Structure 1
């Protein structure tokens, strides 16, 4: 029993480390993919002065802290989104490992899912674009991954993807395009992993998270009227909420509304 516990703790620690590394890669994807650039070449460099970054400048989170959020050469600011996405991805990887029940195929799919969401968030924060080359293949990949590993049944994976797409598509057409179709395509993968019920919950939570984040910024004048706001970060946070504590939230809601015991 002690050995199993130690092995589990090692897995969680490794998951955190790998999640930080993959979160760093997600930042590369988020910056380069909307620009049509390769995500593997050239090597990482400062987008302001063009200097190639040294290995010690690429350590997730720690390098940003050591550099105090600025390029070592030109002193251009390095956005907070870089360490935030790295840390969030590391935590998601670790939590998935902590809650894994020995099915490593499922765990691998969940890790791929967090990498996908981190990349989508990075794209949206960087350019307000969710490229089709990222979202459409992911919808297929996570439908297959969810169904093959039993994360959801094939029917629930398909229904979740459909519900996620239709929710945003309906809002897009009703509002005359104020919500982009990129979010609908992002929801194909999210819905396939969560299923229809949790997909609806995730969208409601994402809307709540968005209001809670945008309202203070609006009151402070940081967000102007009609200014577009990236919605992928809130969808990703809501998807993680549902994946890890969705059942607990549903039970709480049922008790508060009298729908459950």
Structure 2
């Protein structure tokens, strides 16, 4: 029993470590991909003064804290999204490792999925774009990963992807394009991983999260009327909610409504 506990603790530590690293990589993808830049070359540098960053400046979360959220040379502000995405990815890695530790293949697919969502969130936050080169291959990748590892059946993975795409595509048409089709393509992967039922739940939760976040900003005058806001963060949060506590939420909803 002590050995099993030790192994579990080691798994959590490794999951957090890799989650922070891949969250840091997602930030690179989010900044460079919408600009058509390589995500591997050149090395990390300050986007304001172009100074190459040293190794100690690239430690996830800790470097941001040590630098006070500013470039060491030019003092340009480093966005809060960098440590936030790193921490969120690390937390998702840990939760996936704990909940699916008996199936390492599924853990690997979930880790890849969270890295993808973190990259999409970073893209949307920096540019309000979700590039096709990111979303379209991911839809196929996670359809295969979900179905081959038994996260969802072939039918549920395919139906979930289709439902996720159609939901946003319909809203896109009904609103005259106010919701972008990038979100529909993002939902291909989310639906494949969650299946159709939880895909619908995730979208409803994303809408609720979006309203809860945007309303105070609107009242404070920080978000203008008709201003576009990134929706990928809320889709990712809805997906994470359903992935980790979806069944509990469904049972709670059923109890409250008498279904």
Q: Do these two structures clear the TM 0.5 threshold for a shared fold by scoring above it?
A: yes
In structure 2, the residue matched to 1:128 is 128
1:25 aligns to 2:25 (yes or no): yes
In structure 2, the residue matched to 1:207 is 207
In structure 1, the residue matched to 2:89 is 89
1:45 aligns to 2:45 (yes or no): yes
In structure 2, the residue matched to 1:114 is 114
Q: Work out the CA distance in 2 between the residues paired with 1:97 and 1:157.
A: 21
> 1:16-41 CA deviation, whole Å, 9 max, x = no partner?
01100000000000000000000000
In structure 1, the residue matched to 2:241 is 241
Q: Work out the CA distance in 1 between the residues paired with 2:2 and 2:97.
A: 18
Alpha-carbon shift at residue 101 of structure 1 (Å): 3.9
Q: Work out the CA distance in 2 between the residues paired with 1:222 and 1:29.
A: 27
Show structure 1 runs of 4+ deviating over 2 A: none
1:254 aligns to 2:254 (yes or no): yes
Q: What pairs with 1:99-248 in structure 2 (closer than 5 Å)?
A: 99-248=99-248
Alpha-carbon shift at residue 4 of structure 1 (Å): 1.6
> 1:137-187 CA deviation, whole Å, 9 max, x = no partner?
000000000000000000000000000000000000011000000000000
Q: Work out the CA distance in 1 between the residues paired with 2:5 and 2:166.
A: 43
Q: Work out the CA distance in 2 between the residues paired with 1:166 and 1:80.
A: 33
> 1:172-228 CA deviation, whole Å, 9 max, x = no partner?
001100000000000000000000000000000000000000000000011000000
Could you say what the CA RMSD is over the residues aligned between the two structures, in angstroms?
A: 0.5
Give the secondary structure class of the aligned counterpart of 1:73: coil
Alpha-carbon shift at residue 235 of structure 1 (Å): 0.3
Give the secondary structure class of the aligned counterpart of 2:21: helix
Give the secondary structure class of the aligned counterpart of 1:42: coil
Alpha-carbon shift at residue 122 of structure 1 (Å): 0.2
Higher mean Cα deviation, 181-190 or 4-13?
A: 4-13
Q: Work out the CA distance in 1 between the residues paired with 2:234 and 2:105.
A: 27
- Figure out how many residues of one structure are paired with residues of the other and give that number: 259
Give the secondary structure class of the aligned counterpart of 1:13: helix
Q: Work out the CA distance in 1 between the residues paired with 2:232 and 2:251.
A: 26
Q: Work out the CA distance in 2 between the residues paired with 1:243 and 1:147.
A: 15
| Gap regions ≥5 residues in structure 2 | none
Alpha-carbon shift at residue 6 of structure 1 (Å): 1.1
Q: Work out the CA distance in 1 between the residues paired with 2:86 and 2:101.
A: 25
Normalising to structure 2: TM-score of the pair?
Answer: 0.99
Q: Work out the CA distance in 2 between the residues paired with 1:140 and 1:60.
A: 30
Alpha-carbon shift at residue 8 of structure 1 (Å): 1.3
